[in-house]
Amino acid sequence: MNTPKEDWEIRQLFEWLRNEESANQPEFRQVLERAKATARRVEHPLDWRWMAAAIPALLVLVWISLGELSAPTEPTALQAAELEAWESPTDFLLEVEAHRLTASLPEIELGTWTEDVAEAESEESEQ
């Protein structure tokens, strides 16, 4: 906690700093006028020349893409036969006999796990 004298000194220092800064700063009206003048001189980033160059290029790209989309080719007999005969490389995973899934439960060996747990518990109790 500061003493009243220290608080007074801090207030004096901040007041001095505020006066020092305001003496070195231009008035707001001057800053605003300068910004307006500069804004008038800055060229707009979307200049008409850029637009004039971009529009034909865009039209050519659209024309090319529409040309490719509008000309579908019919699959040949060979392609159709290949598509018909195709099988997924993982099809064999789906070939499971349904009765195998529900006929028995998997066996879980608890012997080694329970022995490990008992051994860990005995080590903890010894410490």
Round to whole Å and give the CA distance between 80 and 71: 19
Across 58-69, average pLDDT: 80
Instruction: Please count the structural domains in the chain.
Output: 1
CA 11, CA 5: separation in Å to the nearest integer? 10
- Whether 18 is in a domain gets the answer yes
**What whole-number distance in Å separates Cα of residue 60 and Cα of residue 66?**
10
pLDDT at site 11:
92
Does the predicted model carry a pTM greater than 0.75?
no
**Domain boundaries, position 13:** 1-44
87 occurs within a structural domain: no
| 10 belongs to a structural domain | yes
∠ at Cα 110 (105, 111), nearest 5°?
A: 135
* 91: in domain: no
Q: What is the DSSP letter of 96?
A: -
* Cα–Cα distance measured from residue 35 to residue 44, given in angstroms and rounded to the nearest whole number: 15
Question: Which pair of structure tokens corresponds to residue 63?
Answer: 């024309």
Q: Is 90 exceeded by the pLDDT of residue 79?
A: no
Domain-embedded: residue 6: yes
